[in-house]
Amino acid sequence: MARNIEIKARIESVEAVEPKAAALADQGPIEIQQDDTFFACPRGRLKLRAFSATEGQLIFYRRTDQAGPKESFYVIAPTASPDTLREALSLAYGQAGRVRKHRTLYIVGRTRVHLDRVEELGHFLELEVVLADGEPHEAGVAEAHDLMAALGISPGQLIEGAYVDLRGEK
C-alpha cells in the first residue's frame, strides 16, 4: 500500500492561506470539486470520491485519528461510473456519511497541499507528504512540521479524524 504523512487543520479562510501556499508551490492551483461518500468499513475507511458523473476514485485508507502528523496507508482505484459504484456499495455496506467540498490543490515538492472549502463545516488545510517505499515516517513528519510553520499553522489548529467525523457521521 502507498503511504503518506497527513495533517488536517482548521483555518480562518482559504483566502488567508492561499498566497503562502502559492509562494511555496511547484504546481497549482488546481481547482477540484469533490463529493465523498463514506461506507461502513471496520478495518479502516472506505470512500468513493466523485469528481463528475464519469470520473471518480474508490479509496481505502487506514490511519490513526490524532491531531498531529500521522501515517496513512491507502489504495486508490479509479472508476468511470461513480454513481453506479456508490449505489452498489451503499446497498452492500451502507453509507456512513457524505462530504462535499471545493479543493484548491498545490504541490510543494512531494507534498499535496489541499485548501478545502467544506460544505457545512468551513475552511481547512490538509497536507499529504508522500513517502517513498521503505522511507521512515519521521522524514515525512519533519517535512509536515516545516510546511505547517511556513504556512502559519499552529498545533492548536490541528484536528483529528476526517471531515465526515466533524459532521457527526461515521
For residue 112 the three cell numbers come to 499535496
> For each of the chain's 170 residues, which pLDDT tens digit applies?
899 999 999 999 999 999 999 999 999 999 999 999 999 999 999 999 999 999 999 999 999 888 889 999 999 999 999 999 999 999 999 999 999 999 999 999 999 999 999 999 999 999 999 999 999 999 999 999 999 999 999 999 999 989 999 987 65
User: Grid cell 457545512 — which residue?
Assistant: 120
Q: What is the DSSP letter of 157?
A: G
The number of domains in the chain is 1
Sequential DSSP letters for 33-73: EEEEEEE--TTSEEEEEEEETTEEEEEEEEE---SS-EEEE
> CB–CB of 157/10 below 8 Å?
yes
**Domain with 98 in it: what CATH number?**
2.40.320.10
Give CA–CA dist 166/170, Å, rounded: 9
Task: Give the type of residue at 17.
Answer: V
pTM for this structure?
0.93
Give the structural domain span for 14. 2-166
Is residue 10 within 8 Å of residue 148, measured between CB atoms? no
Task: Please state the φ and ψ torsions of residue 154, each to the nearest 5 degrees.
Answer: -95, 155
d(CA 89, CA 85): 6
Cell digits of residue 11: 483555518
Residue 102 to residue 162: CA distance in whole angstroms: 15
